[in-house]
Amino acid sequence: MKEKDLKNNPLYLLTTAVENGDPTAAKRIKDHLNKSDDPSEMRYLEGLLLLLGEQPGELEDHPDYEDDPDEYWQENDYFEV
């Protein structure tokens, strides 16, 4: 079985940059995020940005919790009545 070459894997390199506190990590992640069209990869990259304290992109809409905590679920038909 052939081992994966992690030294050329961009996600591995970006994760390592975050773990090592590389000051250019956030910019590199955002650049890669702008080039990606894979939703799973984009979510992973946004998670790395969250670890850095950066604002994530707009893949997920946050629930609208104005007055009713169940409003989000009702609006999006997660539960049928």
Average pLDDT for residues 4-10, to the nearest whole number?
A: 79
* Cα separation, 39 vs 9, whole angstroms: 17
Is 80 inside a domain boundary? no
Query: Which pLDDT score, from 0 to 100, does residue 19 have?
Result: 93
Is 53 inside a domain boundary? yes
Query: Which pLDDT score, from 0 to 100, does residue 69 have?
Result: 55
Is 64 inside a domain boundary? no
What does the block give as tokens for 62? 């946050």
Is 23 inside a domain boundary? yes
What does the block give as tokens for 9? 């894997």
pLDDT digits (tens, 9 = 90+) for 16-55: 999 999 999 999 999 998 898 888 898 899 999 989 988 7
Is 70 inside a domain boundary? no
Query: Which pLDDT score, from 0 to 100, does residue 7 have?
Result: 76
pTM score, two decimals? Answer: 0.63
Domain count, the chain: 1
Is 48 inside a domain boundary? yes
- Which residue segment(s) compose the domain that 40 sits in? 7-57
Query: Which pLDDT score, from 0 to 100, does residue 6 have?
Result: 72
